Chain A
Amino acid sequence: MDKRLKRILPKVQKPSRYTGGEYNQIIKDKSSVDLRVAFCFPDTYEIGMSNLGMSILYQTMNSLDFVWCERVFAPWGDMYAEMKEAGIPLYALESGDDVKEFDVLAFSIGYEMAYTTVLDMLDMSGIPLRSENRDDLLPVVVAGGSACVNAEPMAPFIDMFLIGEGEEMDNEVLCLLHTAKLEGWGKKQFLTEAAKIQGVYVPSLYDVEYNGDGTVRTYTPHEGVPQKVLKRIVEDLDSSPYPVNPIVPSTEVVHDRVSLELFRGCVRGCRFCQAGYIYRPIRSKKPDTLIRQGIEAVQNTGHEEISLLSLSTSDYRPLSYICDGLLDYCESRSVGLALPSLRADNFSVEIMEKIQKVRKSGLTFAVEGGSQRLRDAINKNVTEEDVLNTCALAFSGGWNTVKLYYMLGLPTETDDDIVGIAEMSEKILHCWRVNAKNKNRGVRITVSTSCFIPKPHSPFQWEAQISQEEYLRRVNLLRSSIKAKNVVYNWHDAETSVIEAALSRGDRRMADVIEEVFRSGGRLDAWTDYFRYERWNEAFRKCGLDRDFYASRERNVSEVLPWDVIDVGVRKSLLIREKERAYRSELSPDCRRNCSACGAAALLKGSKCDE
């Protein structure tokens, strides 16, 4: 270990997150590999090590014998300061080698607030921030992850984006780079060749022109480059790589458990939900594959919990079957089962009772909107009756805490809808009084609201975000409407939401703002400890960009959007239709009752959507 590092580690909080050496880490002989990949997660170790995508791709890339892929995370503030002072550049955990020596920096960008941390990690590595200032083929700076469905705000910094799922695409790119490195290609030659791989978006090969009003006029691809980049998917999840030997952190991380992914995509089509559109089509894993992988992963890690992941776990048809199959193994070994993302229905309570024999955690409902009209407008198929019935069952079964999540500022929301949130909490309280087995223990109902952020590739991608003042007015309205003392109301600050709204629908000019924030000290902006609203506003002013043009401007459906260059497989006409239906508070049936022919099924070659 680096001598300088040895001196600073005893001084920082939780130093084991900066050392590597965990069980199941992959160590290779660096003299026997041709490509070294620094897999960079632009957030802390605890967050990055909880990310299933990172765990999958770490193993996928390392399955190539000419590649050694290592992990890199962003240090917390104390470690950052110590590293700067000691002059230690960013290093990879497995080998401890400087990131600058690597051939590839691969960033996983899952959320917009991580943008400044990407720049920080490049800078800590001593690598120029902008693609145009990196002339050589190596290192190649690539990025993937769900935030890249609008790649434009980060386009000037990243050589190539990998859009969609990486299991196959990443290795195709690494194979091409292998050839390029051995044959001594130039950067331009490699990027032009890579752009032919489906899912690869090389922003420098597209010229953007703007209209006088600041909107995008055109995207012009260079010769031989596709007009639009079609996202990549893995067709068969059963045969696609899943890490049954994931790294076991030696310190506590956010999700310290085995994660099993039941299926990708979602049949629900909630209109505010980006994930519900960008992960289509629906592909499920077979229940026996999941049971086998879950058991193997528990054996290989010693984890005490398995979490079943998906966007809507109740929609996994054989859910009961795999719960039974896993419980058979888990119960005698004190391994717990966790099911986030359950829908508010009776079936969920049955499943919950099955898996929570020992400890009853709280119930959580994402209700999103305060009235049936508004829930219809956003296509959130949850009725008040569903919620009350589920609560009745749960209260009579001994549960006594309920959490309810809502968004304020959804399109078409009125004050009546907001008062409806308070009314619903009262009804749940009443439901507890009627159904609770043991009233002595009391009940706790928590209502949380956040400010709605319109996201690219969702039917609400053209909508205006409400202003911060308006959000606070609505928060106060709700506060004064909630009277019961058993109901606790928490609201998220709107400041981060405003910036996130601007970033998520930004164009390439936004890169200047991101760089300016970074230059004035911004990093780890996803953390309230580090996020400074004023720093962002100041950067917008300095760069001559209008934050509200991006955050709170309603777009016309005919406008060229910065993310139109990315095709996630869902037709724009469907998004327009869904937006129009929202304004009529009209529901769309879920994909299983009536396929909306969104277009995503065309991404499948040999199978059908939701088979």
Chain B
Amino acid sequence: MEPGPNKNGSRSSSYKKNKSPLYSSSLDGLISHGLLNSWRAMIRLFKIKDQRKEEAANANGRAPAKKQSAGELRLHKDISELNLPKTTTIAFPNGKDDLMNFEISIRPDEGYYLGGTFTFTFQISASYPHEPPKVKCKTKVYHPNIDLEGNVCLNILREDWKPVLNINTVIYGLNLLFTQPNDEDPLNHEAAAVLHDNPRLFETNVRRAMAGGYVGNTYFTRCI
């Protein structure tokens, strides 16, 4: 049932062999022949598909080739399409084989945090982008939306995460935290209260923390 020129060279023989009730009148016959051929082509396509599936299954059984998870694939695209703001750098401390764990450093070029350098760790799960990246701030910072353990309060990292977001949008979100810290929904309530009631004092506190020193009872290491 091979469509097209067959191996023994006689083309018309296949036409005759396939004579079926579909070949009633001459014109109908032509149309049906065309249809039949395309059906056969489809059937062949399905066969090839099944064959490939089998081959793939066998290959999986024999050599467990290192297959990238869906999350890794997507992350790979995110990384290769990164368009970092000039304040931000990225590093892969575990080398290029581990893209799922990396660090970014932000050096704000305006606002209260101008001059400081703040490092964040990113942990990407295998179910990315259905789960947001886990982001922590490694640098101890006096900030209303980052607590002293490094937990970050950013809407797109929690309730507003959606899988069309990517690493780039998260990085822009983190940058925004430094240019526009907000006193609503704070993690560091003390810092938020100061920002709300006395922005001048807040500015002084941020400077003191970044230079390395105490704000209240908390010691901050230098990050300028």
Q: Do A and B bind?
A: no
B→A interface (CB under 8 Å): none
A→B interface (CB under 8 Å): none
